[in-house]
Amino acid sequence: MEINVRKKLEKINIRGKIERNISMNLHTTFKTGGIADFFAIPEDYNDIILLLEFTREHSIPVFILGGGANILVSDKGIRGLIIDMQKISNFSFHNNTCTAEAGLSISDLAKSAADENLQGLDFIYGMPGTVGGAVWMNARCYDISISDVLMSVEYLDKNLDFKTLEFEDIQNNFAYKQSPFQNSSNIILSATFKLDKGNKNDIQKNMELHKQDRENKGHYKYPSAGSVFKNNRTFGKPTGIIIESLGLKGYSKGAAEIAEFHGNIIVNKGEARSEDIRDIIDYTKKLVYEKLGFNLEPEIQLIGDWEKI
């Protein structure tokens, strides 16, 4: 990026902030990843639009960051601009629905819904990440996908126009760990969820059970990004069991390791590099294919400057 463009980018007049050379290991749940050239934290939609207008005009690549809970950022970092959605986090309730902006923690939203005696998001309590990330990934746990409770999604399309994905589009275009946002540059601004009236105490009890279950399984013990590969019904078994059956639990490279508690989770046990994690992913994929013929599909997104490693 030319020096004068860099200077102009730093000076875009947004309410939020723009910083340079930010280490992504502070912004990923793996606690790995190199430097991002520019890192913006917009305060409102107008900030986002100003940033996008500039980056489009100057052909600067943009990455939208939620909670960083499903990404593996290259040790070489990310060129261009990261837009961190953390401050875009208002939410409101109306009858049995709630609308939440993309940067809000999905787990915090579940908690607030329970406070309003609304059930339907309790299944996702304890899962790291934001509303936007959960919609983008169509996050799923305890046999429920986020699309099962979604009513509509407001987003910015490639022309920077405000658009809404309605209920029928959601029914037709979301599938297991798939959303239409994965094949587009559209930016999720907010999502509306359809919930049911319930009893606050019962909902909170249910949420605690889910969180406890994650704790018992070891989810929060070491930095990770949850499941590395998708499950695939045609394989007949969950991916974690398939990986475990090849004796790969505990397999390590540097400080990265396939968790002893779950074959489909890679943990960072210290100062792991993203490259170590990537090597384990590639090795696992290769071995599972060679030994069992299953072609594992990664769930984790590889972000940044990977080719040059």
Ligand X SMILES: Cc1cc2nc3c(=O)[nH]c(=O)nc-3n(C[C@H](O)[C@H](O)[C@H](O)COP(=O)(O)OP(=O)(O)OC[C@H]3O[C@@H](n4cnc5c(N)ncnc54)[C@H](O)[C@@H]3O)c2cc1C
Q: Report residue 277 CA to chain centroid gap.
A: 17
Among residues 74 and 224, whose Cβ is nearest to ligand X? 224
For ligand X, the binding residue among 33, 226, 240, 263 (CB under 6 A) is 226
Nearest to 110 by CA among 132, 98, 129, 125: 125
Q: Are the C-beta atoms of 132 and 149 separated by less than 8 Å? A: no
Q: Going residue by residue from 8 to 37, which x/- string records binding to ligand X, judged by CB under 6 A?
A: ---------------------x--------
Q: Binding string to ligand X for residues 99 to 118, with x set by CB under 6 A, is what?
A: ---x----------------
Count, residues near ligand X per rule CB under 6 A: 32
Token duo for residue 86: 């953390």
Q: Take residue 42 and report the two structure tokens written for it.
A: 């917009």
127 counts as binding ligand X under rule CB under 6 A = yes
Amino acid 189 reads L
Query: Residue type for 201, please?
Result: N
Please count the helices (runs of H) and the strands (runs of E) in the chain.
Answer: 8, 18
39 near ligand X, rule: CB under 6 A: no
Structural contact between residues 48 and 83, judged by C-beta atoms closer than 8 angstroms? yes
Q: How far is the CB of 218 from ligand X (least distance, A)?
A: 9
Our finding on whether 64 is near ligand X (CB under 6 A) is yes
Restricted to residues 232-291, the positions that interact with ligand X (CB under 6 A) are: none
Just list the catalytic residues. 227, 299
Cα–Cα distance measured from residue 170 to residue 147, given in angstroms and rounded to the nearest whole number = 7
Among 49, 141, 255, 292, the residue binding ligand X under the rule CB under 6 A is 141
Q: Binding residue for ligand X (CB under 6 A) from 65, 82, 203, 207? A: 65
The β-bridge partners of 152 are 192
Q: Measure the CA–CA gap between 186 and 162, rounded to whole angstroms.
A: 10
Catalog residues that contact ligand X under the rule CB under 6 A: 29, 63-71, 85, 102, 127-130, 132-134, 136-137, 139-141, 181, 187-188, 219, 224-226, 301
